[in-house]
Amino acid sequence: METERKPIKVNSSILQYHGSPFDANNIISNEDFTKQIMQLSDTLSTTTKGVIIDVCSKKGCWMTLGLFGGEELMVRFKDYNFFVPLDASGQVIINGKAFISQTSVQDLKHYAEDSGLSKSEIDSITKPKITYSFIADGVILAE
């Protein structure tokens, strides 16, 4: 499980680390990352950053980030070993593996429920979706 890490202050931002520590010096921009993931045929090990759009409201066991051009990235956490705060928002740096997957109707409905969507919105989900996915082994949140 995640070891407890104290927040640190960098410039005027406080950073919270979750999961495994990683080198945040070689971050791929959101635009470059989006171009790379759109052309993936396998997996991409990388560190990138983005803005949090949504977080699992029950445990913080997943989050979505905006990708350049309006797509979303579904971020889950390696081996379910750590979570992010339920109110996480703003900028985030993630380290891990990106890939393209297909999300089942059952999983889409589960995520919609976790997001607090209405029953009619959840019931309207009837087809699987191609998903830009990321398994993060470490996350840095800026407060």
- Give the model confidence (pLDDT) of 5-38 as tens digits: 444 444 445 688 999 999 888 899 999 999 999 8
- Mean pLDDT, to the nearest integer, of 92-98? 96
| pLDDT tens readout for residues 66-82 | 998 899 999 999 999 99
Tell me if residue 106 falls in helix, strand or coil: helix
The pLDDT, as a whole number, for residue 29 is 92
pTM of the predicted protein model = 0.80
CA–chain centroid gap for 87, Å, is: 14
30-65 burial, b for 16+ CB within 10 Å, e for fewer?
Answer: beebbeebeeeeeebebbbbbebebbbeeebebbbb
Task: Give the number of domains in the chain.
Answer: 1
In a domain, 1, yes or no: no
> CATH code at 45?
2.40.50
State residue 26 phi and psi, 5-degree precision.
-115, 65
In a domain, 11, yes or no: no
